[in-house]
Amino acid sequence: MSIQTGVQLGGSVPRRRRISQRVIRDNIAGFLFITPWLLHFFLLIAFAMLYSFRISLMETDLLSSEKFVGLANYTRMWNDELFWKSLRVTGYYTFVLVPSGIVIALAIAVLMNQNVKLVGVWRMLFYLPSVVSGVAVAILWGYVLNPRFGLLNMGLKAIGIEGPRWLFSETWAVPGFILMGLWGAGGAMLLYLAGLQGIPTQLYEAAEIDGAGSWGRFRHITIPMLTPTIYFNVLINIIASFQVFTQSYVMTGGGPNNATLTQVLYLYRKGFQDFQFGYASALAWALFLVIMVFTVMVVRSSEGWVHYEGEVKK
């Protein structure tokens, strides 16, 4: 502020020159600071996207042959039974895992928000599984789901249930993956816990005076106030679940009988095992389109169900 008064006293001509010099310097500085991301964008994103689209129109192993085939890869995909299968498998996984994950994470968060003792310990116990991701979890769960000596079936046996054959069964393999995904619900639980603690207590007090029971308060205060967090989780989880790969690659290799062939696994097989990079690129673009469609659907629908507390002011 003191600059401005000083400049104003100095007259109009030098002021304009000084400001424009400053603007230029700021522009140079700004672009220098964001250079790493600009490089990332132009080299690894923009260029790569264009190139990826180009090879999706070709038949190529990227080494010896390169042949322009137009939309042949896409029509081939349309008639490829395995592509549709992988779409169904991935969709099944996503649309069971995402809603049930939200319910479970929310339930744990609500339990933990009831003034329980030693919150830190509980938080850690539920949260830890979500930290160990990737191969280690896949291998661990491969054994947890083992039909004969696995933890899960032994637990079921203890309560008198004969467990299914999980990863060796066409019907139960994907549910096995979903259970494994739910084991990582602790990450989202933390977000809900933070959201719950941000709800002003006056809202609950007011509702109680109006005679709302605990279910009514949960239904009409807790849930609406948490919708921004739920929305964030739905989006992130849909995007992530459609890209599921490690589980099926490590645990089942896509089997039995392609029951766990996810879209990314199919893409990986076509590209990096069969060296049909053109077809693999087309598969990648199809995946992008699928994710895009569902993301846009969620974003569109959000106006109807996501409640922002500050929105009235707009």
Partner 1 sequence: MTTGEKSYPTTVAPIHAPRRTDWLLQRHRFFSVLGRILLYVLLISGALIFSAPLLWMISTSLKPEGLVSQYPIVWIPPEPKWSNFVTAWGKSSPSFTTFYYNTVYITVLNMIGLVFSSSLVAFGFARIRFWGRNIIFMVLLATMMLPGQVTLIPIYLFWAKLGLVNTFWPLIAPEWLTNAYNVFLLRQFFMSINMELDDAARIDGASWFRIYWNIIMPLSKPALGVIAIQAFAFNWNNYFGPLIYLSEPRKLTVAIALRLFSTEQSQHIPETMAMTLVATIPVLVVFYIAQAKFIQGIVVSGVKG
The pairs formed by 154-159 with CB atoms below 8 angstroms and a separation of 24 or more are none
Per CB under 8 A, does 271 bind partner 1?
A: yes
Quote the least distance from Cβ 59 to partner 1, whole Å.
14
Task: Give how far the C-alpha of residue 221 lies from the chain's centroid of Cα atoms, to the nearest Å.
Answer: 26
**Of 73-81, 166-174, 186-194, 217-225, which segment contacts partner 1 by CB under 8 A?**
186-194
Task: Give how far the C-alpha of residue 108 lies from the chain's centroid of Cα atoms, to the nearest Å.
Answer: 20
Per CB under 8 A, does 297 bind partner 1?
A: no
Q: Which of 169/243 has CB closer to partner 1?
A: 243
Member of 77, 89, 174, 264 binding partner 1 (CB under 8 A): 264
Member of 40, 88, 219, 307 binding partner 1 (CB under 8 A): 40
Fill in the amino acid letter for 156.
Answer: L
Q: Which of 71/296 has CB closer to partner 1?
A: 296
CB distance 140 to 176 below 8 Å = no
- What's the rounded Cα separation, in Å, for the pair 301 and 111? 29
Footprint of partner 1 on 90-149 (CB under 8 A): 108, 111-112, 114, 116, 122-129, 131-136, 139-144, 148-149
Q: What is the DSSP string of 168-215?
A: GSTTTHHHHHHHHHHTTTHHHHHHHHHHHHTS-HHHHHHHHHTT--HH
Member of 103, 154, 206, 297 binding partner 1 (CB under 8 A): 154
Member of 7, 15, 52, 91 binding partner 1 (CB under 8 A): 52
Site map (CB under 8 A) of partner 1, residues 273-292, x = contact: ----x--xx--xx-xx--xx
Interacting residues of 256 by C-beta distance below 8 A, sequence separation 6+: 167, 168, 169, 170, 173
**Of 26-34, 77-85, 94-102, 168-176, which segment contacts partner 1 by CB under 8 A?**
26-34
Tokens of 227: 């919708």
CB distance 59 to 238 below 8 Å = no
The SS3 call for residue 59 is strand
**Of 70-78, 164-172, 254-262, 264-272, which segment contacts partner 1 by CB under 8 A?**
264-272
Q: Which of 13/159 has CB closer to partner 1?
A: 159
Residue 230 CB: number of other CB atoms within 10 A?
A: 21
| Ramachandran angles phi, psi of 66, nearest 5° | -155, 115
Tokens of 83: 């592509």
Quote the least distance from Cβ 129 to partner 1, whole Å.
6
Instruction: Measure the CA dihedral 228/233/239/242, to 10°.
Output: -140
Member of 5, 12, 13, 158 binding partner 1 (CB under 8 A): 158
Quote the least distance from Cβ 308 to partner 1, whole Å.
8
Per CB under 8 A, does 2 bind partner 1?
A: yes
Q: What is the DSSP letter of 260?
A: T
Member of 5, 9, 13, 33 binding partner 1 (CB under 8 A): 33
Footprint of partner 1 on 192-231 (CB under 8 A): 194-195, 198, 228-229, 231
Member of 10, 17, 19, 48 binding partner 1 (CB under 8 A): 48
Q: How many residues bind partner 1 (CB under 8 A)?
A: 91
Tokens of 143: 């054994």
- What's the rounded Cα separation, in Å, for the pair 59 and 276? 7
